[in-house]
């Protein structure tokens, strides 16, 4: 039996990877191999699998992993906002780290180009890696928007006029500032979350509850500054 | 040359068809032996009939018009059509009524998720038998049927749709806040549930119970250990458990946070799990108000299983998946 009680946990590579490994260390897992071997994806001796953050809900929903750790931004984008279209998973715990804010930002110089576009053209172009969050936010606030999905650095889209505004995740605001963008609206605060497959949540209830209990205790004991770890720039 | 099919539908070829038929036959044999008569209804229903069920949570995949301009939909489930049959064809019949079915149903899908628009459901409805007797009978039919089709490792989750509302009422949660908490639990978001309870500024023991109680799940010993307000709100489940016998009881997981998404459930709710499949194979529960929407107020309970899900789980168990 592993330190995870025989459960399979999907963890995200990327900015959340470091603090997630630190968390696993505190749970008593030997993460040396996870830290050194970047190409290996499966760590059956630990009960851990690694993947990109946005794939975590897919594996957990299908039951290929009992539990997963991913950002709330990923969960929101995959539509936990609406249970009918949301993923069939449980969101068990706010792990506190990877803290960042989903914001609407636009170029700082002069009048807000997003507001200007809405006033004169009736529609604002919003570039984002999070099309569903952006669509939901604009609809909820009663503004017509054309959502432009990009995969890479979204700041560029506003800087060169592909869009008047962007919706993106920011922790320090440094990247936004360097590209002359300012935050106009805060949409949601995002942290790392522990999610569970609904069948595992019942069939492996005891093991899952034990792990959640240890994680809760770790959160209570944890140093305050841990919240800053693993945040994107 | 490959000709396309409407998205979300598929062909079933002889080997799969034979295996599906075998599962369906095993289930039907149990249903018939337990006194449930097989029933067929049209695949098409008037929209206003299906709307007495829950079209909001089970949105139809296909709507069409007949030559008189009536809106028809391909049925999304079988519980509502059977409620219609009972109200119109069994107005004076002696109770309870027992029906079983295997029927193709059609549902709108979530985009890009590879879900079927067309699915075969098989199940039973027991009408005119109140809780807890009727619920206990249907649970015993469910466990017997699942065992008969060859599934070995299944479990049935049992909750109570009225548990959380009762608990909130006992603890004096204002109604406006209560509805939000219940909806959050229905979304399976326990983080938001805790945040909302904390934000509601309720006295401490109550807040702790509202967060912890819906996370309780386990075998019969869990129910027996309940105390105070939680035990009071779980009274329905305790009375049900008294009527259940060993072979049924040992398959059950009592789950105080189980909320079925379909809106017409009023009391006990079920979900079927198997370790070989990541999502429930089916579910059901009590719907004591649905028949009244057809002018025939009767308590009722039933379940529906997804035939394809059962097949996948059986194949998974044979392969010895975790």
* Cβ pair B110:A62 closer than 8 A: no
- Specify the number of domains making up chain A: 2
* Cβ pair A199:B110 closer than 8 A: no
Determine the residue of chain B that is closest to A192 in CA distance: B191
User: What pLDDT is stored for residue A1 in this prediction?
Assistant: 57
User: What pLDDT is stored for residue B58 in this prediction?
Assistant: 86
User: What pLDDT is stored for residue A106 in this prediction?
Assistant: 95
Rg (CA), chain A: 19
Give the whole-angstrom CA distance, residue A178 versus residue A166: 15
Q: Which of A86, A89, A199 sits opposite B280 (nearest CB)?
A: A199
For residue B77, what pLDDT band results from cuts at 50, 70 and 90? very high
Q: Which of A84, A92, A94 sits opposite B57 (nearest CB)?
A: A84
Same domain? A27 vs A83: yes
Nearest to A3 by CA among A222, A227, A207: A207
What is the CB neighbour count within 10 angstroms for residue B204? 7
Same domain? A173 vs A106: yes
Same domain? A89 vs A200: yes
Same domain? A183 vs A203: no
Task: Examine residue A129 and state whether it is found in any structural domain, yes or no.
Answer: yes
Contacts of B278 in chain A (CB under 8 A): 61-64, 197-200
Same domain? A44 vs A55: yes
Same domain? A32 vs A109: no
For residue B73, what pLDDT band results from cuts at 50, 70 and 90? very high
Among A185-194, B42-51, B182-191, the least confident range: B182-191
User: What pLDDT is stored for residue B114 in this prediction?
Assistant: 63
**Nearby residues of B295 by Cβ (< 8 Å), 6 or more positions away:** B87
* Cβ pair A197:B192 closer than 8 A: no
Same domain? A27 vs A108: no
- Tokens read off for A13: 């590579």
3-state secondary structure B264-292: CCCCEEEEEECCCCCCCCEEEEECCCCHH
Of B58 and A92, the one with more pLDDT: A92
Same domain? A183 vs A146: yes
Task: Examine residue A224 and state whether it is found in any structural domain, yes or no.
Answer: yes
User: What pLDDT is stored for residue A135 in this prediction?
Assistant: 94
User: What pLDDT is stored for residue A233 in this prediction?
Assistant: 52
Contacts of A89 in chain B (CB under 8 A): 188
Q: Which of B183, B190, B273 sits opposite A202 (nearest CB)?
A: B273
Contacts of B279 in chain A (CB under 8 A): 61-63, 88, 198-199
Same domain? A85 vs A112: no
Same domain? A16 vs A79: yes
User: What pLDDT is stored for residue A17 in this prediction?
Assistant: 96
Q: Stretch B277-283: mean pLDDT, rounded?
A: 94
Task: Examine residue A166 and state whether it is found in any structural domain, yes or no.
Answer: yes
Task: Examine residue A210 and state whether it is found in any structural domain, yes or no.
Answer: yes
Task: Examine residue A31 and state whether it is found in any structural domain, yes or no.
Answer: yes
Task: Examine residue A1 and state whether it is found in any structural domain, yes or no.
Answer: no
3-state secondary structure chain A: CCCCCCCCEEEECCCCHHHHHHHHHHCCCCCHHHHHCCCCCEECCCCEEEECHHHHHHHHHHCCCCEEEEEHHHHHHCCCCCCCCCCCCEEEEECCCCCEEEEEEEECCCCCHHHHHHHHHCCEEEEECCHHHHHHHHHHCCCCEEEEECCCCCHHHHHCCCCCEEEEEECCCHHHHHCCEEEEEEEEEECEEEEECHHHHHHCHHHHHHHHHHHHHHHHHCCHHHHHCCCCC
The range of the structural domain enclosing residue A132 comes to: 100-188
**Strand B217-218 to B155-160 pairing:** unpaired
Torsion of CA B120, B121, B122, B127, to 10 degrees: -150
Q: Which of B217, B261, B273 sits opposite A83 (nearest CB)?
A: B261
User: What pLDDT is stored for residue B50 in this prediction?
Assistant: 95
Give the whole-angstrom CA distance, residue A30 versus residue B44: 59
* Cβ pair A88:B186 closer than 8 A: no
Contacts of A85 in chain B (CB under 8 A): 110-111
ipTM, interface predicted TM-score of the complex: 0.90
Same domain? A212 vs A222: yes
Q: Which of A61, A90, A203 sits opposite B190 (nearest CB)?
A: A90
CA distance A61 to chain B (A): 7
Mean pLDDT for chain B overall: 94
Which of A205, A207, A220 would you mutate first to test chain B, the one with the most B CBs within 10 A?
A: A205
Q: Is residue B293 within 8 Å of residue B2, measured between CB atoms?
A: no
* Cβ pair B187:A88 closer than 8 A: no
Q: What is the CATH number of the domain that holds A21?
A: 3.40.190.10
Task: Examine residue A50 and state whether it is found in any structural domain, yes or no.
Answer: yes
Task: Examine residue A3 and state whether it is found in any structural domain, yes or no.
Answer: no
pLDDT in tens, A12-55: 999 999 999 999 999 999 999 999 988 899 999 999 999 999 99
Q: Stretch B74-78: mean pLDDT, rounded?
A: 97
**What is the three-class DSSP state of B97?**
strand
Q: Stretch B31-55: mean pLDDT, rounded?
A: 96
Same domain? A160 vs A45: no
Give every residue of chain A whose pLDDT is below 70, as ranges.
1-2, 80-85, 223-233
Contacts of A90 in chain B (CB under 8 A): 188-190
Give the whole-angstrom CA distance, residue A169 versus residue A129: 9
């Amino acid at each position: 039996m592993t330190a995870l009680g025989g459960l399979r946990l999907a963890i995200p590579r990327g900015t959340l990877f470091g603090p997630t490994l630190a968390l696993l260390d505190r749970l008593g897992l030997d993460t040396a191999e996870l830290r050194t071997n970047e190409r290996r994806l499966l760590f059956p001796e630990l009960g851990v699998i690694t993947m990109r953050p946005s794939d975590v809900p897919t594996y957990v929903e299908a039951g290929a992993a009992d539990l997963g750790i991913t950002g709330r931004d990923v969960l929101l984008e995959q539509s936990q906002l609406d249970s009918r279209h949301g993923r069939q998973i449980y969101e068990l715990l706010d792990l506190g780290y990877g803290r960042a804010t989903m914001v609407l930002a636009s170029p700082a110089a002069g009048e807000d180009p997003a507001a200007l576009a809405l006033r004169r053209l009736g529609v604002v172009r919003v570039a984002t890696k999070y099309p569903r969050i952006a669509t939901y936010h604009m609809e909820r606030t009663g503004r017509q928007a054309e959502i432009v999905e990009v995969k890479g650095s979204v700041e560029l889209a506003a800087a060169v006029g592909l869009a008047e505004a962007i919706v993106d995740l920011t922790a320090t605001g440094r990247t936004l500032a360097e590209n002359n963008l300012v935050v106009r609206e805060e949409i949601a605060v995002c942290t790392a979350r522990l999610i569970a497959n609904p069948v595992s949540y019942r069939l492996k209830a005891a093991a899952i509850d034990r792990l959640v209990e240890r994680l809760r205790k770790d959160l209570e004991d944890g140093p305050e500054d841990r919240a800053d770890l693993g945040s994107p720039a | 040359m490959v000709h396309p099919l409407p998205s979300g539908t598929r062909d079933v070829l002889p080997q799969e068809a034979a295996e599906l038929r075998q599962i369906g036959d095993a289930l039907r044999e149990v249903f018939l032996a337990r006194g449930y008569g097989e029933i067929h209804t049209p695949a098409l229903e008037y929209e206003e009939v299906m709307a007495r069920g829950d079209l909001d949570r089970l949105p139809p995949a296909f709507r069409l018009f007949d030559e008189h301009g009536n809106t028809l939909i391909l049925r999304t489930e079988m519980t509502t059509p059977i409620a219609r049959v009972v109200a119109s064809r069994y107005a004076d019949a002696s109770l309870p009524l027992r029906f079983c079915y295997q029927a193709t149903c059609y549902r709108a899908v979530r985009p890009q998720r590879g879900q079927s628009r067309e699915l075969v459901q098989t199940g039973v409805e027991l009408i005119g038998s109140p809780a807890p007797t009727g619920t206990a009978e249907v649970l015993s039919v469910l466990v017997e049927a699942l065992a008969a089709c060859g599934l070995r490792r299944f479990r049935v989750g049992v909750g109570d749709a009225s548990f959380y509302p009762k608990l909130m009422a006992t603890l004096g949660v204002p109604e406006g806040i209560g509805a939000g908490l219940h909806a959050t639990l229905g979304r399976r978001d326990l983080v938001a549930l805790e945040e909302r309870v904390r934000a509601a500024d309720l006295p401490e023991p109550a807040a702790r119970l509202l967060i912890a109680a819906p996370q309780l799940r386990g075998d019969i010993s869990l129910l027996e250990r309940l105390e105070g307000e939680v035990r009071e709100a779980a009274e329905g489940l305790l009375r049900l458990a008294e009527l259940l016998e060993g072979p049924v009881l040992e398959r059950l997981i009592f789950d105080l946070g189980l909320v079925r998404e379909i809106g017409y459930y009023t009391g006990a709710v079920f979900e079927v799990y198997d370790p070989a499949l990541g999502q429930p194979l089916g579910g059901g529960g009590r719907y004591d108000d649905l028949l009244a929407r057809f002018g025939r107020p009767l308590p009722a309970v039933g379940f529906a299983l997804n035939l394809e899900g059962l097949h996948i789980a059986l194949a998974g168990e044979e392969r010895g998946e975790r």
